[in-house]
Structures are given as C-alpha cells and as structure tokens.
Amino acid sequence: MDAVRVALLREVLAGTEWPAAARRFAGALRSSVVSRGGGLLLVGTAAYEPWHLAAHLVDEAAWSGQPELAPTLVRHRVQAGDPAHLAVGLGRVAAAGRGETLLLVAPDAPDCALLERVHDARRSGATVLSLDGGDREVRGLAHEALTVTDTAEVDLDTVQHLVGAAAGETGPAPARRGRRGLRGRLSRLADQLTAPPPPLW
C-alpha cells in the first residue's frame, strides 16, 4: 500500500483509536530495533505468514533511511531451493537473544511449539512484540502488544498497513496541524513517491 493510500486509510479511520494505536506500536518497534541494534525477526503462525508486513517494513526501511527496520522473515516451512532471505526457519526464533527484537503476528492462537520458542527468545533477552487477535498466551509473552479482535472496526491486515507505514516515521507525529507540519508531511510524501523502489522480495 503506497503513502497516498495509507493517508486515505488514516483519514477514513480518523476518530477511531487505530491510527494513534498503530503509531504508538510502530514507535515501540522502531525504538526497540534502533536502540538495541540486534535486528528484527518477523514470524507468523503456521497458518498465517506475514508476507505483507515484511514487504511494508522493507519499503519503510529503504524510504526512511533506517535499514534496521528491514526484518528477517522467519518461516514455518522452508524448502531446500528457497532463496536465502526466505530460508530462515523457526530455529532462529529460539536462538534470538539480547539486543534482538521479535515481532509475532498471530491472528489466531499459535501452536505450543512456536510459543515455547518465543518464550525462549524472551528469556534470552529478546524484546517481544505482538500484533495479535487477543490470545492470552501471546499477550503474556509480549513486552508490547497491539490486539485486533473480531469486534474491532478494522482487521489485522489493515492494522499491519498502518503499523508498516508508521514504522519509518521519525520526529513528531504527523497529526499536528500548522504550516510547518503540513510542509513536512508533503515533503516526506514527495520523497517517498519519487524514491527508487527497494529490491523486490
């Protein structure tokens, strides 16, 4: 989703909690990755692989000049012929440790094996964040969580768009009004629209 569509989405959701909640969560993600410097691991459940969020974060990393936001996508099933950036298996989650950030995207309850690996990573010092559907065990493992339940005005995919777009934002939140804030937003939008595309997945 490009910057113009994200801006329209934020406009549609104005007055709800979601734009601000996504910015808060993205700020926690950015702060953890940038301050700790150990890299970002992104993992979903066996039934849900967060390809879309991975692509958004790669885009934001390129556009914002914050390469540390580009995640390592951890997959449940890795095939022998997969390219290197798609060949990272679940063992990487259990091996995560101090300085690393683990983002778990779990629309539904993950299986016990994944939860155990996430628990091991947290115990070893990794920061755990979750975008989830409300599972209590996932929330119990996360240092920071953003929960999207079935009764919310938006779905988890939409919130991932908002989080991905907000992850590369720096400085004051763009909700501020005034000439200076508008000029900054327009300048950033122009930079994003004219920047060369990042490498494809």
Could you report the per-residue pLDDT of 99-156, keeping only the tens digit for each?
999 999 999 999 999 999 999 999 999 999 999 999 999 999 999 999 998 888 888 8
Supply the pLDDT for residue 200. 57
Asked if 130 and 124 touch (Cβ cutoff 8 Å), the reply is: no
CATH topology for the 3-194 domain:
Rossmann fold (3.40.50)
Q: Is 50 exceeded by the pLDDT of residue 179? A: no
β-pair type (101-106, 127-132): parallel
Tokens 């849900």, residue located: 48
SS3 105: strand
Indicate the domain borders of the chain: 3-194
Supply the pLDDT for residue 196. 59
Asked if 24 and 129 touch (Cβ cutoff 8 Å), the reply is: no
Q: Which two tokens stand for residue 139?
A: 């929330």
β-pair type (144-147, 127-132): parallel
CA atoms of 1 and 52, how far apart (whole Å) = 9
Residue type, 86: L
- Give the strand order in the sheet containing 101-106: 72-74, 40-43, 101-106, 127-132, 144-147
- Residue ranges in the chain assigned as alpha helix (H): 3-12, 18-36, 51-64, 91-95, 112-123, 136-141, 156-167, 179-194
* Beta bridge partners of residue 105, listed in sequence order: 131
Of the ranges 9-13, 20-24, 161-165, which is most confident?
Answer: 20-24
